[in-house]
Amino acid sequence: MTGQLVNRWLIGIYLAGFFTYLFGPLIVMGITAFNSSNYPAVVPFEGATLEWFRILLSDGEVVQGLRTSLLIGVLVVCVSVPVGLAGAIVLTQIHARARPLYYLVVVSPVLTPGVIIGISTVIFWRDVTQTTGIRMFYDGIVMTVLSQSSFISAYCMLILLARLQRFDRSLEEAALDLGATHAQVFRDVLLPFLRPAMLSASVLAFLASFENYNTTTFAILADKTLTTVLAGRVRQGSTPAISALAVMIVAITVAAAVAYEILKRRDDARRKARKAAAAAEEGRDLTPVVVGGAPQSAMAD
């Protein structure tokens, strides 16, 4: 009995420490965002206020950095998900002996430090611009999208590959036998199966782009994203406005996660209802009926 009590105490202490380490900074940040003190502090609590949110929304540099981060995130999704999908499809179709080498090549950007990716992107497109005279790619936003997509697409490929490995190839063969083209099979058979994985890859790509700093700080050039703006502000001294921004981001993230879970459960409920209705309909079709004293199936001619 004593041993069980000690184990419970140890587990309780561990869980308390774990959740304190996990949520403690968020709680402190939330309190400082509503404290009227000019310096981020939990105590003394001088009074509740929303002034820091107003100051944040009126900060032109932060708002512009947020807009740039959102634009880059959307563009990274548009680039990374198709590239990751293509990489996953190729990996499942090439010769088995070539797969390890191909996998090593396409996953290597994940193992490359972000600083090196950012610097190499700037040097490469600078040389291309000097050689060709085309300045379209030597732009902060364009280079940031390209540099981030080079490794985020590998994450997308891994997510799509996990889903693609469970795909039944006989569905493609059946569609081709029925006269469908390869484009129709891809659009009507493969993409619907990969839709959940593509949604997950899109969310991961956007979040990875939004919070990225190491690669962005070199590739963005004169432009600024939210992460680079915040890094500069923290060096100069943090203010409760930064905590207000963090509270807003956490609130939006939680709301999006809750909305996604609600929609997912509704979709699962509708799917189960359709399956139950189909099973009930099939059961009615197979119910024996009496014709001339002999039971026959309702499906009989």
Q: Which residues contact 231 (CB under 8 A, 6 or more apart)?
A: 213, 217
117: alpha, beta or left? (left if phi > 0; alpha if psi -120 to 50)? alpha
Domain residues of the chain, as ranges?
1-49+243-277, 57-238
* Contact criterion met (CB below 8 Å) for 214 and 152: no
Query: Can you name the residues that pair with 295 across neighbouring β-strands?
Result: 290
Give the per-residue pLDDT at 83. 94
Give the per-residue pLDDT at 299. 45
Give the per-residue pLDDT at 301. 44
Q: How far is CA 40 from CA 5, 35, 43, in A?
A: 40, 8, 9
What does pTM read for this prediction?
0.79
* Contact criterion met (CB below 8 Å) for 42 and 35: yes
Q: Tell me which residue of 223, 216, 221, 212 sits closest to 144, measured CA to CA.
A: 216
Segments of the chain scoring below 50 in pLDDT:
297-301
Give the per-residue pLDDT at 86. 92
- R_g of the chain, CA atoms, integer Å: 27
Q: How far is CA 104 from CA 72, 80, 93, 108, in A?
A: 27, 18, 16, 6
Give the per-residue pLDDT at 35. 84
Give the per-residue pLDDT at 24. 87
Q: Is CATH 3.40.50.1000 correct for 57-238?
A: no
